[in-house]
Structure formats: C-alpha cells, structure tokens
C-alpha cells in the first residue's frame, strides 16, 4: 500500500460475528486492581466503555495503559475487582468474549505465509469454506496486502507486519478492537497507513480502544480520552475537553510535556 492510499472509504460488511450477533458492550471495570510481587500496578480503576466513540488511553510511561488493555481483553486476571462485558463477569484470564480482538505493539505472527496467518485466525473462530476465502480477500485488500499473500509473514517490513495484524482483526470483524501502541515503532508513512485502517474499522462500527504515547496521534483519532497516572484513573471524558481543559493537575502537566513523578 502506498503512503497515499486512502482507506477511509472501506467498509466492513455485516457478518454473524458483527452486526447480527448479540452486543458485548458496555465493558465495565469495577474497582479493578492488579498486583505483581506486592506492587500495585493498577489501583482501583472503575470505568465504563460504551459503544461508539474511539477511546484512547493516555498517560506517561508506567501509568498502566498496556496492563489496563490486557485486563479488559481478558489476557490478565485482576488481583481484585471485576471486569464485566454487558454485566457478565470474566471467569479468568483468557476468558473474554470472542467478539473482541487485540493488536499488540509488536505483532505476534506465525512462521507461515501472510495468507496462512489469516486462515489460522479464521479457523480458530470456526469460519471456513467460501466465507473464509471471502473474508481473507477483503482483509488483504483493505490493508493493502493483496500482493503479499504468499510471502512469509515474518519477512514483511515492520509496517506491513502491523497491517497484517490489523488484517487478522479485520477478517474476524470484532465488535471491539484493542490496540496497544500499534504505531510506536513505525515511520510516518506506515503510521499514516495504520491510522487509516483504524479509521476504516471505526467507520464500519468496530469500537476502538487504543493506547498511544503520541499526542498528535491522540488528537487525530480520539473521541474520548481515558487518562492514567501511576495505575490510577484520573480522567475520562471527551477528547476536546481533555486537550483544552484538563481536569487534573497531572493531565495538565502531561500535556505540557512535564515529567510526572
């Protein structure tokens, strides 16, 4: 995909896993804590994430942004508190609902071709036959990887690997997509391409919940901001208010580029 490719017009066709399946939102965290070795890294966070606006999670290094995503996604189990999807509690780590997905800062790719990586993800969701082939074609086209299907996934450039990770999510058509700093290691052109895919997913109805350390990116993408510091939730509200009238001293200092201790 060239840097100027515009993906904004792409749309996700409705599927059984998407528009016609039972909704899984809202996502609610109730007094969630997470401790490792006696250190409390997430400290009593309570928040609700609704369908619709793009939610970006901001905060300095060590604020707990990535941990919060993993707790919400179901990769980690809280030390205390509850994570609920539409009032249903997650039973344990790895038990989140199937109609949500996560893309990591460093993509986890199989030692297989680009096409086989997509097929594996779809097979895990018991999607086969012509539907699998159609979704694979759509996902590769939407992410600019149509000509890379037979290429070993791990031989792709960093930006292409991240687009493949997004292609897997696109093919699964999740109701909610968690993104953990997906452009942190990418050049400007690759960052733009990833942002266009994220925008297209949002336009198609997928709820975006994303962490970033790039304030310019946050201003471009955020509708709602969740601001963390030292494992605590300090603000949640509209992005325009956060960037112009932060409600906490810590957020004001963060936006001014000051170190938070």
Report pLDDT digits (tens) over 43-53: 999 999 999 99
Q: What mean pLDDT comes out for the span 116-127?
A: 92
What are the residue ranges spanned by the domains of the chain? 110-160+167-173
Residue 242 has pLDDT above 90, yes or no: yes
Confidence band (pLDDT; 50, 70, 90) for 19? very low
pLDDT band at 16 (very low <50, low <70, confident <90, very high): very low
pLDDT at 5: 42
User: How does pLDDT run across 194-239, given as a tens digit for each residue?
Assistant: 999 999 999 999 999 999 999 999 999 999 999 999 999 999 999 9
Backbone angles phi, psi at 184, to 5 degrees: -65, -30
Tell me the C-alpha distance between 25 and 204, whole Å: 16
Please give the structure tokens belonging to residue 140: 């590769």
What pLDDT, in 10s, does the model give residues 156-175? 999 999 999 999 999 999 99
Interior/surface letters 146-159, b for 16+ CB within 10 angstroms, e for the rest: eebeeeebeebeeb
Is residue 197 within 8 A of residue 32, CB to CB? The reply is: no
pLDDT above 70 covers what percent of the chain? 88
């Amino acid at each position: 995909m060239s840097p100027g490719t515009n993906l904004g017009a792409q749309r996700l066709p409705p599927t059984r896993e998407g528009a016609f399946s039972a909704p899984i939102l809202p996502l609610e965290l109730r007094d969630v804590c997470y401790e490792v070795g006696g250190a409390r890294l997430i400290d009593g966070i309570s928040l609700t994430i609704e369908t619709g606006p793009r939610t970006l999670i901001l905060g300095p290094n060590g604020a707990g942004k990535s941990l919060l995503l993993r707790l919400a996604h179901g990769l980690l189990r809280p030390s205390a508190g509850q994570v609920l999807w539409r009032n249903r509690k997650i039973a344990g780590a790895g038990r989140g609902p199937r109609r949500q997905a996560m893309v990591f800062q460093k993509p986890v790719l199989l030692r297989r071709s680009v096409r086989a990586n997509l097929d594996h993800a779809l097979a895990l969701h018991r999607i086969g036959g012509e539907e699998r082939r159609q979704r694979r074609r759509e996902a590769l086209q939407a992410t600019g990887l149509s000509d890379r299907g037979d290429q070993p996934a791990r031989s792709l450039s960093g930006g292409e690997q991240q687009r493949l990770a997004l292609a897997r999510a696109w093919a699964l058509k999740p109701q909610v997509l968690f993104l953990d700093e997906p452009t942190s290691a990418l050049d400007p052109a690759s960052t733009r391409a990833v942002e266009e895919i994220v925008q297209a997913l949002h336009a198609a109805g997928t709820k975006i919940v994303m962490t970033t350390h790039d304030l310019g990116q946050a201003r471009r993408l955020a509708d709602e901001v969740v601001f963390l510091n030292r494992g605590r939730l300090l603000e949640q509200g509209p992005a325009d208010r956060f960037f112009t009238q932060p409600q906490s001293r810590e957020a004001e200092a963060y936006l001014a580029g000051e170190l938070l201790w």
